[in-house]
Amino acid sequence: MTATILEQSSQETITSASLRMRSTMCATRVNFVWFGTQKTLTRAQKDQAAESFDAQGEFLRAEKKLLDTKNPRFKAVNSVRNAIRSVWSSMSLPFPEPATRLIRRDMVPTFQNWMEEQRERLQETVQALDEDYAALKDAARQRLGRLYNEADYPHALRGLFEVSWDFPNVEVPPYLRLVDPQLYETECERVQARFDEAVEMAESAFIEELSELVSHLTDRLSGSQDGRTRIFRDSAIGNLNEFFERFRSLNIRSNDQLDELVSDCQRIVQGVQPQALRDNANLRQSVSRELSSVQSVLDELLVDRPRRRIIRTLK
């Protein structure tokens, strides 16, 4: 009986959180068009490559690298994509649809302006890469030898690296109520279930990230291992503070226990300077001891959450 009541209470909390999520957030999608630098060898090329290993081409799986991605200008292009993915992820929550995340509605103008800046930056880096394209092809021709095929290479790289984004509607279209009321109700239940799942995905993501950060910091504070002093970097504290800020911005208040754990962690490291942890052994031990207590609770949550999702799925 108690377990049933607790599960019902938990579901009510999730539903309340998902309703807040639906009223304050919107869906975003980010997509990339990216020129592939790997190409599977043709059957004839596999046979040719297999000769070097005294093997049969049909049993050989091989690809050739069309361009040197270690080229500084190629790395600059890839860094734009990595930055977009990182920032988009940091300012949004997961959603159970491919390439879709939830962002606060009041952050949409900021996101829109930033993405437009990144699109311009991408175009500039691709233009710079295009200036090296001929040299990159010449290097590939020498490196690949008989495996080089001019048909694998476009005339230019412009237009082959692009980013786009939109704000898809993940709610039930209102007109459906008039067209088919029963289908409308079914779709409303489906959408609500999707947002309930998004709440659990957000909780899990926060728990896992906090657990990794706390575990890393605790490990760095533990002193030495095998006679070697562990390296403690300022980022171990900085990354935690960044997490606190992101959690404050994106938290949908779906889990009181998680809220308390985050508050505990923030209290433990508040005002603590990295250098003070290096210099003060007592402070280091005190912080490590308190964080270990938080880590033990996080470990329990990490174990419990998959079971919770399974229970809800089976129902």
Between the CA of residue 306 and those of 137, 168, 207, 251, what are the distances in Å?
Answer: 49, 29, 12, 20
119 and 193 belong to one structural domain? no
| pLDDT confidence of residue 9 | 44
Count of structural domains within the chain = 2
- In a 13 Å sphere around the CA of 218, the CA atoms on its Cβ side amount to 17
pLDDT at 307: 42
Q: Give yes or no: residues 155 and 262 share one domain.
A: no
14 part of a folded domain: no
**Last residue of some domain: 166, 189, 209?**
166
Which residue stretches of the chain have pLDDT < 70? 1-9, 44-62, 223-229, 304-315
Q: Which pLDDT score, from 0 to 100, does residue 135 have?
A: 96
pLDDT at 309: 45
Q: Is 19 domain-assigned?
A: no
- Domain that includes residue 102, residue range: 27-166
The predicted structure's pLDDT at residue 39:
81
Is 113 buried (19+), middle (13-18) or exposed (0-12) by CB count in 10 A?
Answer: exposed
Within 8 A by CB and 6+ apart from 251, the residues are 206, 259
Q: Are residues 49 and 152 in the same domain?
A: yes
Q: What pLDDT shows up at residue 303?
A: 78
Whether residue 300 is contained in a domain is answered as: yes
For residue 52, what pLDDT is reported? 60
Taking Cα atoms as reference points, which of 183, 161, 160 lies closest to residue 172? 183
Within 13 Å and on the Cβ side, how many CA atoms surround 90?
Answer: 12
Q: Within this chain, do residues 197 and 288 fall inside the same structural domain, yes or no? A: yes
Write the CB contacts of 42 (distance below 8 Å, at least 6 apart in sequence): none
Kindly state whether residues 114 and 226 are assigned to the same domain. Answer: no
- H or E segment and range at residue 32: strand 25-34
Residue 32 lies in a domain: yes
CB 188 within 8 A of CB 49: no
Residue 223 contacts residue 229 (beta carbons within 8 Å) = yes
Q: In terms of domains, do 208 and 151 share one?
A: no
Q: What is the 3 state secondary structure string of 98-148?
A: CCEEEEEHHHHHHHHHHHHHHHHHHHHHHHHHHHCHHHHHHHHHHHHHHHC
pTM, entire model = 0.83
For 203-242, give the secondary structure using H, E and C: HHHHHHHHHHHHHHHHHHHCCEECCEECCCCCHHHHHHHH
- Which residue is it, tokens 């040197």? 68
174/179 Cα distance (integer angstroms)? 9
Nearest to 217 by CA among 239, 197, 242, 245: 239
Task: Tell whether 206 and 83 lie within a shared domain.
Answer: no
Each residue's pLDDT tens digit, 183-214: 999 999 999 999 999 999 999 999 999 999 99
Same domain, 149 and 102: yes
Angle ∠(262,199,242) on CA atoms, nearest 5 = 35
Which of residues 110, 140, 166 is at a domain's end? 166
Residues 159 and 75 in one domain: yes
Same domain, 125 and 200: no
pLDDT at 261: 95
44 and 79 within one domain: yes
**Domain boundary, last residue among 166, 201, 228:** 166
